[in-house]
């Protein structure tokens, strides 16, 4: 179809019916205007002007096309207005996956600013363990996720760091002997019941820590979420390992106690993660742009 430039040239000539006058107004040469009209006629397959040495007139096809050209330019203007409005005030839906802890610790400040600035965007938040959040992001079930940042990020993922957390061993406050055994070092771990995450970065760090010390932990249970680890530890089931950020914000924090160990497992950054392609969407990119200002680092 003819370009916007060609449509405007055609409409101007349809108004003046004078090639030289229209060419001058459009800052074109007469030959350039002629070529533009010829391209329109080639696209339509029939002439839009009747030309003679003394006059120029619209054909019936030209009259029909004039109405179409006007409508096309109006539609284009409305589209540009809509896109400009969307850039300033994006709409649509943004799907977020995060852990329960992230939902009430690192996200509230960011989401409050986001909702205040972009009220037209509908937020959908789903909570699960961190590993499941990563799976949902990879499967495009969500747009962004709040997850532990891996040491080697996938090639198509981008991260914005929101917070940092250490990893801490925790023991029940009612079972003082469990904490005492942890403090004994390698010998104390023999037969000591341990509650571990089933998978994820925390499990990888815990396994590496035990392996480095030559400890084969007595795994009492493997669970999906850090909150479940704290619950089992609070019940006296054993010693667990959780992010310090989770422990400090947990309603069970008074029923468990952190146990210091030499050279504990490395902590990690809690980050907002999205695929590069997703960030081309204004709704997702808008959250991304606000994230650094909401970081606790």
Q: Indicate whether 63 pLDDT > 80.
A: yes
Token pair 């329109």 in the structure block, residue:
40
252-257 mean pLDDT: 95
Select from 179, 171, 144 the least CA-distant residue to 279: 144
Q: Indicate whether 88 pLDDT > 70.
A: no
108-115 mean pLDDT: 93
Q: Indicate whether 82 pLDDT > 80.
A: no
Q: Is 137 in contact with 275 (CB distance < 8 Å)? A: yes
As given in the structure block, the two tokens for residue 21 are 């006058």
pLDDT of res. 259: 95
At 293, the pLDDT band (50, 70, 90 cuts) reads: confident
pLDDT of res. 85: 60
Q: Indicate whether 66 pLDDT > 90.
A: yes
**192-225 pLDDT, tens digit each:** 999 999 998 999 999 999 999 999 999 999 998 8
For residues 24 and 186, give the distance between their C-alpha atoms in angstroms, rounded to a whole number.
90
**12-39 pLDDT, tens digit each:** 999 899 999 999 989 999 899 999 999 9
**140-187 pLDDT, tens digit each:** 999 999 999 988 887 789 999 999 999 999 999 999 999 999 999 999
For residues 79 and 262, give the distance between their C-alpha atoms in angstroms, rounded to a whole number.
62
Q: How many C-beta atoms lie closer than 10 Å to residue 26's C-beta?
A: 16
Q: Indicate whether 73 pLDDT > 90.
A: no
For residues 163 and 270, give the distance between their C-alpha atoms in angstroms, rounded to a whole number.
5
As given in the structure block, the two tokens for residue 211 are 């392996």
Token pair 């504990």 in the structure block, residue:
264
| H/E segment holding residue 159 | strand 157-165
pLDDT of res. 81: 60
pLDDT of res. 125: 92
Q: How many C-beta atoms lie closer than 10 Å to residue 79's C-beta?
A: 10
pLDDT of res. 77: 74
All domains of the chain in start order, with CATH: 4-88 (1.10.10.10), 92-164+269-294 (3.40.190.10), 167-266 (3.40.190.10)
Q: Is 270 in contact with 164 (CB distance < 8 Å)? A: yes
Q: Indicate whether 269 pLDDT > 90.
A: yes
Q: Indicate whether 105 pLDDT > 90.
A: no
As given in the structure block, the two tokens for residue 232 are 């089992």
pLDDT of res. 86: 60
Token pair 């990879």 in the structure block, residue:
138
Q: Indicate whether 112 pLDDT > 90.
A: yes
């Amino acid at each position: 179809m003819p370009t916007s430039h060609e449509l405007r040239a055609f409409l101007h000539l349809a108004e003046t019916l004078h090639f030289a006058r229209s060419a001058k107004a459009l800052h074109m040469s007469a030959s350039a205007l002629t070529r533009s009209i010829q391209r329109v006629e080639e696209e339509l397959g029939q002439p839009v002007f009747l030309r003679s040495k003394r006059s120029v007139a619209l054909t019936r096809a030209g009259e029909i096309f004039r109405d179409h050209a006007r409508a096309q330019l109006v539609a284009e203007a409305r589209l540009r207005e809509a896109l400009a409005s969307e850039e300033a005030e994006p709409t649509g839906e943004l799907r977020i996956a995060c852990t329960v802890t992230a939902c009430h610790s690192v996200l509230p400040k960011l989401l409050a600013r986001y909702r205040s600035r972009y009220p037209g965007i509908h937020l959908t938040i789903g909570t699960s363990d961190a590993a499941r959040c990563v799976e949902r992001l990879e499967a495009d079930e969500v747009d962004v996720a709040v997850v532990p940042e891996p040491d080697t990020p996938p090639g198509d993922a981008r991260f914005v760091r929101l917070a940092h957390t250490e990893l801490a061993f925790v023991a029940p406050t009612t079972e003082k002997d469990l904490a005492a055994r942890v403090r004994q070092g390698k010998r104390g771990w023999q037969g000591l019941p341990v509650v571990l995450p089933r998978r994820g970065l925390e499990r990888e760090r815990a396994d590496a820590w035990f392996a480095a010390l030559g400890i084969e932990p007595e795994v009492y249970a493997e669970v999906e979420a850090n909150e479940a680890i704290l619950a089992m530890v609070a019940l006296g089931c054993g010693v667990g390992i959780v992010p310090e950020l989770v422990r400090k914000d947990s309603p069970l924090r008074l029923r468990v106690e952190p146990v210091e160990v030499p050279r504990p497992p490395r902590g990690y950054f809690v980050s907002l993660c999205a695929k590069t392609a997703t960030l081309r969407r204004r709704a997702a990119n808008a959250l991304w742009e606000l994230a650094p200002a909401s970081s606790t680092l």
